[in-house]
């Protein structure tokens, strides 16, 4: 279901290319939005339950609807979403209204349009661009502008702190993330998401998947650098200093409530999925089956992609409920003195290894 | 340089240990779980008497209870209360140690003390009570005490005495008296003496 | 090249803020992330404890001492009754002394658990906080078993205790200690030795010994700076001279002596020492009547007294003036958390905003005791 296929189909109906383009994009956008909303519900439920299990409690539980949150608390995320939608939407009097209203949508759009290039399986990709991975890296940093707008327009000191911190953090961590992706691009020779996945097909000695993470030791390191930088980009613990609740109350979101806050929330989870999606595509073989020869149909492809991405999201949740958070200068130290040099060395390592053994 | 790598290594190992602990807790949740699903399950209260002869003298400090038939109106508990949440009014009884069936007044306590006073008002404002237990010990008749917990037949498990109205938290223990009965007690008719 | 001076911003941390440990307002002047000036404003929880004491009788003061440091009520009771007994020259039975020590040390563990847990929360670790609350809950269960209350006990009375121990208290208490001792290692693995935690705490907010002494800081905060001072050892009250225990000191294991980590670590070690004391006390627990020496009427002779005890937060002193009536003429409480807070502006200056929160957490203040 790509945009191109839809446009071809419209072309058969008549000659209206501009309208066909808009229609095709809209038809693709609605399911993606629904997917994000549905996935966010699942992820919130997972976060509640996993955190509870790690903390020796059972999390939301109940026997029925009503005062209880359904069997095993399954309705809890729905209740959360309803609460956020029904809540009063407060705009502080001293806030810059236009920016304040616009900010959550810009943050969300940054996460939303990145979904266009995520390959869910062999065919299920909205736009298989030849610069797919570059596109995702580019648009996913759009959220920073929204965060700064939110922090500045709220006219709140905590929000300002949160916005400044997150801007510094996200911009810095783009670099190691991009550098470790460069290592992948060197191996695959393409920027297209499907192309990267195609490169990882096959098996080494018939058993070990030919995924990039297993292809040489440097890409193994690159995966971790990318994943941890990705954590920082979506403001998850141990890098959640922009919204550090014990210091900054809620960071850039302090003044937000109701639906606008829900959009920030949604985009945080959407960002988690994008980071996992890129990691899966670039390092873990995308929708390729880890078992030789079987489960290779497109439906299984979707399953493999989703399960790999969900596993990485689980690891993010696991991190969050285990670690304390870093201080802002330590965060920068880790980025500039730790990840960036290692990622640089990695590029050389990957290149040399590829030349010698590849 | 060595320090740099030692630092990285230390980070990885210590973070791994922490993740191992949370992982173990997550997979052992069935065993480790400490949650009680509150309305369905209740916190177990420790079962114990604390050595008073009265079996209701339970160790649980849940809420105050007064056996008004045993109360002699000595005001010792009122004086002991640090927050003044106990309010007692008394009227001199016409005859010492005699029952007045009209108003449900018993003349003799369980310990055999003859009562000289009719308790016309005995209120405890539980919203003010600080559960210090100080009123329990001075009572010569052992009639004011904390109840609750499994030992107490009157109040099985009793730690959630919420009310919709704040006035409902003022507990009235004395027998209800109409104003006529009250004035009758205060100004005894001369022929009652005779 | 001149010095680059950015715009300064005044920021109010609190009175409603997730990590002010009660209702405290910190007015900080920040230059970017760097905090250049801190002014703590207290009094939001002022309940006129000292004036109130002048209007109630001596035994009615005890429930109010509970409510000062509500995290360690037993220790507050303990300090008051020890002072009163010295004023009235009451010698309490052996059993009462042992029970009091057991309760005070259990409450010390509970208080330190809360301090460590919230400190973990301040630096962003949520899970250790819940583990520690789970174990604190078990201690509260023991207290409930003993005296019926979970938080504000009013357990120690002048001349005795309000309830004798339940029948199988020894078994339950030893059972808890056996359960709890391995948990300390788990906390250390999960939080203490975590590299991120060390980065956040080691070398941060160093309180040098001379500064600590000049501010009158006491308790674990003082011992974290390497000063060996513990009222239990140096001015033994009750029967603390009979027990074998160490005084853990901050050694600057990962940074400088007196940093936030040392204050944290001293508390972890003190929990182990408290376990030792409780084990010894339970082993030697004598029989006897706990109500024997409770005076019918508390009417101390004219005079005044100051006595200090070691609460989980430090030297907790009571100054009591008696004019011979059943009500105290004056009760003054020397609060250890107050002095600890007063040193904050000295040690947290020049650190980052996140560090101020971490340093405040490491001082383990309880606003109920500071404001009284």
Say what the pLDDT of residue B58 is: 55
Mean pLDDT value across residues B62-73: 79
| Model confidence pLDDT, tens digit, residues C193-220 | 888 888 888 888 888 888 888 988 888 8
Those chains having 3 or more beta-carbon pairs within 8 angstroms of chain C are A, B
User: Exposed/middle/buried for A99, CB within 10 Å: 0-12, 13-18, 19+?
Assistant: middle
Q: Are A5 and A150 members of one domain?
A: no
User: Among residues A39, A59, A86, which one ends one of the domains?
Assistant: A86
Q: Are A31 and A118 members of one domain?
A: no
What's the gap in Å between the CA of C107 and the closest CA on chain B? 18
Say what the pLDDT of residue B156 is: 52
pLDDT at A61 over 70: yes
Say what the pLDDT of residue B45 is: 66
* Cβ atoms C366, C70 nearer than 8 A: yes
Q: Are A25 and A154 members of one domain?
A: no
| Model confidence pLDDT, tens digit, residues A224-256 | 888 888 888 888 878 887 777 777 777 788 888
Q: Give ipTM to 2 decimals.
A: 0.83
Overall number of domains in chain A: 2
Q: Are A276 and A128 members of one domain?
A: yes
Residue of chain A whose Cα is closest to the Cα of C16? A249
Among residues B123, B90, B118, B94, the alpha carbon closest in space to that of B106 is found at B118
CA atoms within 13 A on the CB side of B52: 21
Residues in B touching C159 (Cβ below 8 Å)? none
User: Among residues A68, A86, A104, which one ends one of the domains?
Assistant: A86
Q: Tell me if C196 is assigned to some domain.
A: yes
CB contact under 8 A, B18 and A55: no
Q: Is A307 in CB contact (< 8 Å) with chain B?
A: no
Overall number of domains in chain B: 2
HEC letters along chain C: CCCCCCCCEEEEECCCCCCCCCCCEEEEEEECCEEEEEEEECCCCCCCHHHHHCCCCHHHHHHHHHCCCCCCHHHHHHHHHHHHHHHHCCCCCHHHHHHHHHHHHHHHHHHHHHHHHHHHHHCCCCHHHHHHHHHHHHHHHHHHHHHCCCCCCCCEECCEECCCCCCCHHHHHHHHHHHHHHHHHHHHHHHHCCHHHHHHHCCCCCCCHHHHHHHCCCCHHHHHCCCCCCHHHHCCCCCHHHCCCCCCCCCCCCCCCCCHHHHHHHHHHHHHHHHHHHHHHHHCCCCCCCCCCCCCCCCCCCEEEEEEEEECCEEEEEEEEECCCCCCCEEEEECHHHHHHHCHHHHCCCCEHHHHHHHHHHHCCCHHHHHC
CB contact under 8 A, C200 and A161: no
| Model confidence pLDDT, tens digit, residues C270-306 | 998 899 899 888 888 888 777 778 887 888 888 888 9
Q: Is C23 in CB contact (< 8 Å) with chain B?
A: no
Which residue among C64, C148, C190 places its CB closest to the CB of B59? Answer: C148
Those chains having 3 or more beta-carbon pairs within 8 angstroms of chain B are A, C
Mean pLDDT value across residues A171-181: 88
Domain holding B17, by residue range, is 2-32
**Which contiguous run of DSSP H or E holds residue B23?**
helix B2-27
Question: Which B residues, 3 through 42, put their C-beta within 8 Å of a C-beta on chain A?
Answer: 8, 15, 18-19, 21-23, 25-26, 29, 32-35, 37, 40
Report the distance separating Cα A184 and Cα A195, nearest Å. 12
Q: Tell me if C163 is assigned to some domain.
A: yes
Overall number of domains in chain C: 1
Among residues A169, A149, A145, the alpha carbon closest in space to that of A160 is found at A149
Residue of chain B whose Cα is closest to the Cα of C152? B132
CA atoms within 13 A on the CB side of A240: 27
Indicate the pairing of strand B63-66 with strand C303-311: unpaired
| CATH code for the domain of B123 | 3.30.70
DSSP of B94-120: SSTT--BGGGTB-SB-TT-PBP-EEEE
Say what the pLDDT of residue A26 is: 82
Q: Tell me if B57 is assigned to some domain.
A: no
Residues in B touching C189 (Cβ below 8 Å)? 17-18, 21
What's the gap in Å between the CA of A169 and the closest CA on chain C? 14
DSSP code of A90? -
Three-state SS for A66? coil
Domain holding A47, by residue range, is 1-86
What tokens appear for C26 in the block? 């910190």
pLDDT at B145 over 60: yes
Using 50, 70 and 90 to split pLDDT, how confident is the model at B194? very low
Domain holding C300, by residue range, is 40-339
Say what the pLDDT of residue C157 is: 84
pLDDT at B56 over 50: no
Q: Are B77 and B18 members of one domain?
A: no
Of C179 and B91, the structure prediction assigns the larger pLDDT to: C179
User: Among residues A31, A65, A86, which one ends one of the domains?
Assistant: A86
Ordered strands of the C34-41 beta sheet: C9-13, C25-31, C34-41
Report the distance separating Cα C192 and Cα C368, nearest Å. 28
């Amino acid at each position: 279901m790509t945009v191109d296929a839809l446009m071809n189909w419209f072309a058969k109906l008549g000659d209206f290319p501009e309208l066909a383009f808009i229609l095709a994009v809209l038809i693709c956008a609605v399911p993606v939005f629904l997917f994000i909303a549905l996935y966010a519900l699942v992820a919130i439920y997972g976060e509640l339950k996993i955190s509870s299990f790690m903390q020796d409690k059972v999390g939301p539980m109940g026997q029925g609807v009503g005062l209880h949150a359904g069997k095993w608390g399954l309705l809890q995320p729905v209740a959360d979403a309803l609460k956020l939608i029904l809540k009063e939407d407060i705009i502080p009097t001293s806030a810059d209204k236009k920016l304040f209203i616009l900010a959550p949508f810009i943050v969300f759009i940054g996460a939303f349009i990145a979904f266009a290039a995520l390959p869910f399986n062999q065919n299920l990709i909205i736009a298989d661009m030849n610069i797919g991975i570059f596109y995702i890296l580019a648009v996913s940093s759009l959220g920073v502008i929204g965060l700064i707008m939110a922090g500045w327009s709220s006219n709140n000191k905590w929000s300002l702190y949160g916005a400044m911190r997150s801007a510094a953090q996200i911009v810095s961590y783009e670099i190691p993330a991009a550098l470790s992706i460069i290592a992948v691009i060197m191996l695959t020779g393409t920027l297209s998401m499907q192309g990267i996945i195609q490169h990882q097909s096959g098996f080494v000695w018939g058993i070990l998947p030919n995924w990039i993470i297993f292809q040489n030791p440097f890409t193994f390191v690159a995966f971790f650098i990318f994943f941890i930088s990705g954590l920082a980009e979506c403001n998850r613990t141990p890098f959640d200093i922009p919204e550090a609740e014990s210091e900054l109350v809620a960071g850039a979101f302090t003044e937000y409530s109701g639906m606008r806050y829900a959009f920030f929330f949604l985009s945080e989870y959407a960002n988690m999925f994008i980071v996992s999606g890129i990691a899966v595509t670039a390092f873990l073989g995308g929708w390729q089956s880890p078992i030789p020869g079987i489960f290779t149909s497109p439906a299984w492809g979707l399953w493999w992609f989703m399960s790999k991405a969900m596993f990485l999201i689980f690891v993010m949740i696991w991190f969050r409920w285990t670690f304390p958070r870093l201080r802002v200068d330590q965060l920068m130290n880790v980025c500039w003195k730790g990840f960036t040099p290692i990622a640089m060395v990695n590029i050389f390592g990957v290149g040399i290894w590829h030349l010698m053994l590849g | 340089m060595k320090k740099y790598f030692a630092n990285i290594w230390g980070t990885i190992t210590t973070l791994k240990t922490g993740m191992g602990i949370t992982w173990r807790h997550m997979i052992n949740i069935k065993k480790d779980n400490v949650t009680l699903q509150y309305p369905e399950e209740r916190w177990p209260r420790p079962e114990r008497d604390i050595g008073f002869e009265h079996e209701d003298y339970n160790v649980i400090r849940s809420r105050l209870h007064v056996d008004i038939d045993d109360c002699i109106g000595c005001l010792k508990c009122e004086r002991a209360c640090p927050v003044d949440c106990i309010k007692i009014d008394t009227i001199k009884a016409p005859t010492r140690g005699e029952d007045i069936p009209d108003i449900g007044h018993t003349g003799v306590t369980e310990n055999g003390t003859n009562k000289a006073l009719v308790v016309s008002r005995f209120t405890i404002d539980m919203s003010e009570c600080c559960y210090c237990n100080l009123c329990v010990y001075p009572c010569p008749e052992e009639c004011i005490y904390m109840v609750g917990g499994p030992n107490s037949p009157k109040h099985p498990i009793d730690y959630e005495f919420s009310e919709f109205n704040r006035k409902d938290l003022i507990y009235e223990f004395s027998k209800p008296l109409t104003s006529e009965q009250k004035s009758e007690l205060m100004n005894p008719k001369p022929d009652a003496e005779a | 090249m001149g010095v680059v001076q950015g715009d300064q911003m005044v920021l109010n941390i609190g009175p409603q803020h997730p990590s002010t440990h009660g209702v405290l307002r910190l007015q900080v002047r920040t230059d970017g992330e760097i905090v250049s000036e801190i002014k703590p404003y207290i009094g939001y929880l002022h309940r006129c404890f000292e004036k109130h004491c002048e209007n109630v009788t001596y035994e009615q003061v005890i429930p109010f001492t509970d409510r000062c440091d509500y995290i360690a009520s037993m220790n507050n009771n303990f300090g008051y009754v020890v002072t009163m007994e010295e004023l009235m020259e009451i010698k309490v039975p052996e059993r009462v002394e042992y029970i009091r020590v057991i309760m005070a040390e259990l409450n010390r563990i509970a208080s330190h658990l809360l301090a460590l847990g919230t400190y973990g929360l301040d630096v962003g670790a949520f899970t250790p906080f819940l583990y520690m609350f789970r174990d604190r809950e078990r201690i509260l269960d023991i207290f409930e078993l003993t005296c019926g209350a979970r938080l504000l006990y009013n357990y120690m009375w002048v001349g005795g205790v309000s309830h004798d121990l339940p029948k199988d208290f020894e078994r339950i208490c030893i059972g808890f200690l056996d359960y709890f001792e391995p948990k300390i290692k788990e906390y250390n693995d999960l939080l203490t030795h975590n590299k991120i935690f060390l980065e956040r705490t080691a070398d941060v907010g160093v309180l040098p010994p001379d500064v600590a002494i000049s501010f009158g800081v006491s308790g674990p905060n003082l011992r974290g700076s390497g000063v060996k001072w513990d009222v239990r050892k140096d001015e033994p009250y009750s029967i603390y001279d009979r027990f074998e225990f160490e005084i853990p000191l901050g050694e600057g294991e990962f940074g400088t002596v007196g940093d936030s980590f040392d204050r944290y670590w001293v508390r972890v070690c003190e929990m182990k020492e408290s376990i030792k004391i409780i084990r010894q006390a339970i082993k030697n627990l004598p029989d006897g009547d706990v109500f024997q020496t409770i005076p019918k009427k508390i009417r101390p002779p004219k005079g005044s007294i100051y006595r200090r005890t070691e609460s989980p937060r430090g030297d907790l002193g009571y100054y009591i003036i008696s004019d011979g009536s059943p009500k105290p003429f004056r009760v003054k409480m020397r609060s250890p958390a107050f002095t600890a807070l007063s040193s904050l502006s000295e040690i947290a200056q020049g650190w980052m905003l996140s560090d101020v929160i971490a340093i405040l957490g490491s001082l383990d203040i309880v606003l109920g005791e500071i404001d009284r």
